[in-house]
Amino acid sequence: MCEFTYHGESLEASYKAIVLTRKLSILGTNYFEFEVSEDSTESKIEESRYLVLGIMSDPGFPIRTGYSFSNEPGFSVIDPQQLSVRTNRLIGVELVHFDRIGRRVKVKFSSGYGQKFSTLFEAIMNSAIVSNCDIPIFLMEGEPYDDSKTTNEILREVGHPSTAKADSSAVTALGRKSAKKKSGTDPVTPVSKFLWEAKSLAKNNVRDSSELKDLLNKAKTVNQFPINESQQKAVKGCAKQQLGIMWGPPGTGKTDTLSALIHSTIDEAIRTEKGKKILITGPNYRAVEELTGRLVKSINSDSTVPCQIYMGYSRSRDPQSFPAVSSHVRGGSLRFTRKDPLFYDLQNSIKDPTAITVVATSAHAIPGFVAELGYDKRIVPLFDFAVIDESSQVSLSLGLRPLSVLKEEGQLTVAGDHKQMPPIFSLDAPAGAEYLVGSIQSYFLERFKISTFPLLINYRSCKAIVDYAKLLDYPQELRAENPDLKLHRISNSQHLPVSLPSSTLFESVIDPDKSAITLVHEDIASSQANPDEVDLVVSIVWSLYTGISASLDGTQKSVKHEKNDLGSFFDKAVGIVTPHKAQKALVISKLRELFPAADPDKLYASVDTVERFQGGQRQTIIVSFGVGDTEIIEGEEEFLLQLERTNVAVSRAMAKCIMIMPKSLAYHLPGDKNVAESAIAIKSYIDEFCGERESHGVNFQSGAREVELRWHTTK
């Protein structure tokens, strides 16, 4: 909130604003194209629906209310009761497109409150306040999502039951010597059980051995490929316990395993002639759509399991198309509103005790769904079984929402990887009690020390990538299904375009036997973008395209090795991970010059941040840090050196991971203890794991310099 009062220049200098210097064209109603300041091309802001409008000559404009506009030329009061609304909430700003190379943006303005305040919105937009303020104006990020109201309402209904026990770490973090010992008198609810009795729930068996055997036998047969031994143990364990935690390291088939668990649970309900209500949820719609799509595909081919499956969205969200279903499957995609015709089918299915109903939705949308069903409370017993997927990204507060709709004996499976990207918070967690405000998975693991059911076969990556994962405390039993997976060389001579630097380095980098690589180069000045490092990246991409086969060696099936097809190269063969939008823009611009015939959408999607790549994979992953300025590195060390960020980047690679960074970053020593502990992931990769070294001269456009090549040799 305080940044809403900052001058646009200071926000731009810290890469937190995009300054619009000139209006270029009108694209529609409140829809414009603007020219962007040269300094704003390195802004951290990307395309988003939730930005805030600022005016360079009017610091604090985002927190002004209608009352402060009363004397502005051209402004007339429409409804005095609406004048207390701040402009950051009244004026919605969507950055539709950001061309950093061409210094152009397309921006759409709308009423942040929809039709409710549309008249007031139009009055401000048409008055001298905005329409005649002239340029420059600027865009900045809005307030982080605030779920505190719903969280507080759930916790108030939970109250203080007799089972509630203060966590000793929380007591210490709050600076208290001891917790209050007085027992509560509020009733015990499913939410309170999971918050304070999780260890007991993890020991509570909800099925006997005969029931587990039948369920597991079904789970073994429902997927295209049989589930492996560790997946079977995970299905059995999560089906047995009231609370089960499935740990799915990268590439281990977590989605297929969850689909088999849910499919076999539906089958059990049909065999026993018992209705079943199942909730599938997660941190966002993308994750839920992935699991739901896999489940629908599985059930479509099994006519013995008639059921109803609904993919639900909040009323402000456009439903995605639902997968085609067989005749024994009912349901579809819908908005959680009574205006949606399919909502009544869902409502009737939920109320029918004999029906088998699967509801899939983002955790954020659950309270809206409950309210639309007609309930005026937050804790409502609706579901017998809930699955929280990608649980490492579901904060504990967000996790309260699926817990609040479980029935008295409701079963919960939490599935994810706590070593991948955690939830994003705007404030630092309390020291020593981080898990109390971290993910729901970390809460169960760290507070209650609950054992997990790990998946132990990586189907994605070669042995080197999996061996690196084990350095980060993944299970030592983790192994690669295809340990010898590697690139296949089809050309031994590289002829790079004259616009790229010449060097013997690139032939060595694409060597199939070097699966894990680090390139360290000299640079002390780059902040958000590094042209020389971009040249290294695109030279490697060109070498991969011209010198490496479209198919990998080391798979369990024979393949015909052919030249890469440009149509699939950027969505299958190579992915480029970079932390800053400015570096991303430079890489894309250079790739567009080299590959003018490439599908723009696939090319753009191949260059992105770690967050966007989580869940994806490529044959080769190139990680380009770009940042060389020591002051920038010091200011961003927690972000750049985060263990989970490094882990996600490396684990996206199937056959090769190439990490590129300036020497100033490679040798940076974090000043913060927690950052130093987190940085062990990247430090161990570049200093120890990539233990073999040699130097290569590279003729950059800025001059000839040495680049150190480091690589890992698989023993």
Amino acid of residue 205 = N
Could you tell me the pLDDT band of residue 110, with boundaries at 50, 70 and 90? confident
Q: Which helix (H) or strand (E) holds 13?
A: helix 8-13
What pLDDT does residue 326 have?
92
Q: What is the DSSP letter of 677?
A: H
Residue 234: which of 250, 255, 251 has the closest Cα? 255
pTM confidence score: 0.86
Query: pLDDT higher for 174 or 96?
Result: 96
Q: Write the single-letter amino acid at 183.
A: S
Give residue 315's pLDDT.
83
In percent, how much of the chain has pLDDT > 70?
Answer: 92
Mean pLDDT over 236-263 rounds to 98
Rounded distance between C-alpha atoms, residue 66 and residue 72, angstroms: 10
For the segment 140-155, the average pLDDT, to the nearest whole number, is 85
What's the confidence (pLDDT) of residue 616? 86
Q: Is 134 left (phi over 0), alpha (psi -120 to 50) or beta?
A: left
Tokens 């599985």 -> residue: 298
Lookup: tokens for 456? 């132990």
Residues 658/509, Cβ–Cβ less than 8 Å: yes
Mean pLDDT of the chain: 89
List, in sequence order, every residue forming a beta bridge with 54; answer none if it has no partner: 138
Beta-carbon contacts of residue 636 (< 8 Å; ≥ 6 apart) = 579, 627
Q: State the amino acid at position 544 in one-letter form.
A: L
634 Cβ partners below 8 Å, 6+ apart? 668, 671
Where in the chain are the domains? 2-141, 193-458, 484-711
* H or E element that contains 504: none
Give the pLDDT confidence score for residue 703 in this predicted structure: 86
Q: Which residue has the tokens 């002239």?
A: 134
Tell me what pLDDT residue 115 has. 64
For residues 388 and 436, the answer to whether their CB atoms sit within 8 Å is no
Tell me the per-residue pLDDT of 349-391, one tens digit each, with 9 for 90 and over.
Answer: 999 999 999 999 999 999 999 999 999 999 999 999 999 999 9
Using an 8 Å Cβ cutoff, are 158 and 377 in contact? Answer: no
> What is residue 523's predicted lDDT score, i.e. its pLDDT?
78
**Worst-scoring range by mean pLDDT, 153-157, 528-532, 686-690?**
528-532
Q: Is the pLDDT of residue 167 over 90?
A: no
Indicate the residue type of 22.
Answer: R
What spatial distance separates the first Cα and last Cα of the chain, rounded to whole Å? 53
Query: Which residue, among 385, 452, 448, has the nearest Cα to 248 in the 3D structure?
Result: 452
For the CA atoms of the chain, what is the radius of gyration? 27
For 22, the enclosing helix (H) or strand (E) is strand 17-28
More confident residue, 672 or 247: 247
- Over residues 651-692, the pLDDT tens digits come to 999 999 999 999 999 999 998 888 998 999 999 999 999 999
Q: In the predicted model, is pLDDT for residue 639 greater than 60?
A: yes
pLDDT of amino acid 581: 78
- For 34-56, the pLDDT digits (tens) are 999 988 887 878 887 789 999 88
Please list, in sequence order, all residues whose beta carbon lies within 8 angstroms of the beta carbon of residue 183, skipping any fewer than 6 positions away.
162
418 vs 85: CA distance, rounded Å: 40
* Segment 688-705 mean pLDDT: 92
State the fold for domain 484-711: Rossmann fold (3.40.50)
> What CATH topology corresponds to 2-141?
Elongation Factor Tu (Ef-tu); domain 3 (2.40.30)
CB 108 within 8 A of CB 98: no
- For the stretch 565-612, pLDDT in tens is 998 999 999 999 998 877 888 899 899 999 999 998 899 889 988 888
- List the 653-662 sheet strands across, edge first: 607-608, 574-577, 618-624, 653-662, 516-521, 703-711, 692-700
- What lies within 8 Å, CB to CB, of 649 at 6+ separation is 577, 610, 613, 621, 623, 657, 659
The tens digit of pLDDT for each residue in 223-243 reads 999 999 999 999 999 999 999
**383 membership: H or E segment, kind and range:** strand 383-388
Q: Is the pLDDT of residue 494 over 70?
A: no
Mean pLDDT of 275-303: 96
CATH architecture observed for domain 193-458: 3-Layer(aba) Sandwich (3.40)
Q: Which residues pair with 386 in a beta bridge?
A: 279, 412
For 511, left (φ over 0), alpha (ψ -120 to 50), or beta?
beta
Out of 256-270, 392-406, 583-597, which region has the weakest mean confidence (pLDDT)? 583-597
pLDDT value at position 74? 57
Q: Are strands 137-141 and 17-28 parallel, antiparallel or unpaired?
A: antiparallel
With contact defined as beta carbons under 8 Å apart, do 679 and 671 qualify?
no
Backbone angles phi, psi at 673, to 5 degrees: -60, -45
pLDDT value for 249: 96
Rounded Cα–Cα distance for residues 248 and 460 (Å): 13
Asked if residues 418 and 392 have their Cβ atoms less than 8 Å apart, the reply is: yes
Q: Which two tokens stand for residue 169?
A: 């770490």
Report how far residue 240's alpha carbon sits from residue 426's, in angstroms, rounded to the nearest whole number.
Answer: 37
- CB within 8 Å of 464: residues ≥ 6 apart: 515, 516, 712, 714
Write 506-509 long-range contacts (CB < 8 A, 24+). Answer: 506/539, 506/540, 506/543, 507/543, 507/547, 508/694, 508/696, 508/709, 509/540, 509/543, 509/658, 509/709
Query: Can you give the pLDDT at residue 85?
Result: 79
The pLDDT score that the predictor gives to residue 128 is 55
Q: Are 555 and 482 in contact (CB under 8 A)?
A: yes
* Predicted local confidence at residue 389, as pLDDT: 97
Asked whether residue 81 carries a pLDDT value surpassing 80, the answer given is: no
Side chain identity at 132, as an amino acid letter?
N
* pLDDT single digits (tens) 180-224: 667 789 999 999 999 999 999 999 999 999 999 999 999 999 999
- The beta-strand segments (E) located in 184-291 are 243-247, 276-282
Please write the tens of the pLDDT for every residue from 304-316.
999 999 999 998 7
Side-chain-facing half-sphere of 418: CA atoms under 13 Å: 21
Which single residue is written with the structure tokens 């409370």?
Answer: 377
- Residue 421 sits at the vertex; the CA angle it makes with 416 and 426, to the nearest 5 degrees, is 125
| In the chain, % of residues over pLDDT 90 | 62
Rounded Cα–Cα distance for residues 414 and 421 (Å): 16
Residue 712 φ then ψ, to 5°: -100, 135
CB 525 within 8 A of CB 665: no
Residues 519 and 40: their CA atoms lie apart, in Å, by: 29
CA atoms within 13 A on the CB side of 412: 31
Q: How far apart are CA 653 and CA 602, in angstroms?
A: 18
Residue environment code for 673-695, b if the CB has 16+ CB neighbours within 10 A, otherwise e: eebeebbebbbbbbeebbeeeee
Are 34 and 105 spatial neighbours (Cβ–Cβ below 8 Å)? yes
Most confident of 81-90, 116-125, 537-546, 601-610: 537-546
Report the range of poorest mean pLDDT among 65-79, 190-204, 283-297, 642-656. Answer: 65-79
- Of the ranges 83-92, 381-390, 413-422, 450-459, which one carries the lowest mean pLDDT score? 83-92
What is the pLDDT at residue 176? Answer: 73
Structure tokens at 42: 């390195």
Q: Do the domains spanning 2-141 and 193-458 agree at the CATH topology level?
A: no
Answer yes or no: is pLDDT of 332 > 90. Answer: yes
Q: How confident is the model at residue 425 (pLDDT cuts 50, 70, 90)?
A: low
Cα angle: 55, vertex 61, 62; to 5 degrees? 110
- For residue 648, give the 3-state DSSP assignment: helix
